Amino acid sequence: MATAPRNFAAELLDRELDNGWRVTRQLARGPSATGGQFSIGYEVTRTDGVRAFLKAIDFSRAFRPGGDPARLLQAMTEAFNHERELCKTCSVRRMSRIVSYLEDGTVEVDPTQPYSTVQYLIFELASGDVRAQLEVMQQLDNAFVLRTLHAVTVGLKQMHAAGLAHQDLKPSNVLQCGTSAKIADLGRASSQAVVAPHDSLSITGDRGYAPINQLYGETGHGWDARRRATDLYHLGNVAVFLFTKGNITAAMIAELGEFQRPGVWSEGFAQVLPYVRHAFETALEELKLSVSPMILGKEIKSIVRQLCDPEPDRRGHPESRIRHENQFDLQRYVSWFERLAKQAELGFTGGAR
């Protein structure tokens, strides 16, 4: 009878690592499959007292019975290397709104066993993701939400400027680091310069947060429309989540007829698009009514309308399109969220005083 291979990544607690790091705690989060990398999270502490987050990659999955270890191992290794390279790029370019990558390394867990070497990445430690912040809030703090959105938009803009696209932005990947929000998990990110193993997938990130076009198999044409437009959609969806705890894709699907939904509709994205657009407009109306005060609701509706347009080619600021600038450039949204956050802080749009 075949048994499951030993998961060495799960055996790092209390181990000493290179450069004075010690694994002090396994984080409560369950095994993570985000980024296509099966990983286990730990808290690590350096000899100088600095605490950090360690992401240990679980290669044991490649050796599961019935699998193709050579192929799986190659895929996992490529994915790990890709993520590590992107993390390094972000670090070199000092992206202030991307969770800081500190270092990577390996540790041999059991010298008597083959393949017991575990690879890991170490990042700055966050106090938690944005969902935990929302959970403890008695009343939604618009200023906090808008500051978070501003930070996330800056983070995406920093990545886009380096020719990178995140592709898997969602609430659990927005971390609270000190007083600011930062983007984490580059496991599904794409680079304009290097082809990633997951680049050929029609849905690169979490299916539950996928842009609606991707659910119908429509990915967009060209790097910008395919990658940056996806980031824009995800950003809009994070805005929807932070204000409503909802999801714009789900809200659209709720407005679609039973047979017009992804996985059921048989006639292609162009044919279903009129229905999707109608559903989108209806969902936007619900969004507007979900945000208080109404004046802010109108602005958030406008932002989400531009960011989450069902057609990737139509995403982005209309002014940018008119001026023949890059429509996926996020600078206008950085400014927009900055203004709204300031207004909220001053109490003009319902921010905490």
Partner 1 sequence: MTLDPNDESRAIVPQWRAFEHARRTGELDPASILDAVQGPSEALQKLHHEWTASGAMTFASELVAGSLVEGVPEYGRSAATVLASAAASTSRVVDVIVSEVLGTRSRLPKRRGPPQEEVHRLRHEVADRLRDPFAWVDLARAYEGSGSNQKADQAMSIALALAPNNRYILRSASRLFQHQGEIEKAHRLVARAPQIRSDPWLLATEMALAGLMGRSSRHMRLALQLSGDSGQSPWQISELRSALGSAELTTGSVKKARKLFRGSLEDPTDNSLAQAHWAARRHDPGLRSQIGDITASAEAVAWQEYRDEHWLQALAAAEQWHAAEPFLAQPLILGTHLAASCLLDYEKAEELAMLGLRANPESFTLSNNYIYAAAHVGKIIEAEKQLYKLDLVALTDRERIVHTATKGLVAFRKGTTEEGRLLYREAIGLASSHNDPAILASALLNFAVEESRLEARPDSLQLAEEALAKVAKGRFPTLLPLANVLSASIRRAAD
Pick the binder of partner 1 from 16, 68, 110, 281 (CB under 8 A): 281
Where b means 16+ CB within 10 Å and e means fewer, 188-226 reads: bbbbeeeebbbbeeebbbbeebbbbbbbbebbbeebbbb
Closest approach of partner 1 to the CB of residue 257, in Å: 6
Q: How far apart are CA 288 and CA 293, in angstroms?
A: 9
User: One symbol per residue from 14 to 43: x for binding partner 1 (CB under 8 A), - otherwise; what is it?
Assistant: --------------xxxxxxx---------
For partner 1, which is the closer residue by CB, 2 or 28?
28
Q: Torsions phi, psi of 140, nearest 5?
A: -60, 130
Q: How many residues does the chain have?
A: 353
Which candidate, 9, 14, 64, 8, places its Cα nearest to that of 44?
Answer: 14
User: One symbol per residue from 96 to 135: x for binding partner 1 (CB under 8 A), - otherwise; what is it?
Assistant: -----------------------------------xx-xx
Pick the binder of partner 1 from 207, 222, 293, 294 (CB under 8 A): 207
Closest approach of partner 1 to the CB of residue 198, in Å: 14
Return the residue matching tokens 């929807």.
240
**Residue 80, SS3 per DSSP:** helix
For partner 1, which is the closer residue by CB, 20 or 293?
293
Closest approach of partner 1 to the CB of residue 38, in Å: 9
For partner 1, which is the closer residue by CB, 254 or 334?
254
Q: Torsions phi, psi of 257, nearest 5?
A: -65, 160
Q: How far apart are CA 154 and CA 58, in angstroms?
A: 32
- Which residues of the shown chain bind partner 1 in the complex (CB under 8 A)? 28-34, 131-132, 134-135, 171, 206-210, 215, 240-241, 243-251, 253-255, 257, 259-267, 270-271, 273-275, 277-278, 281, 283, 285-287, 289-290
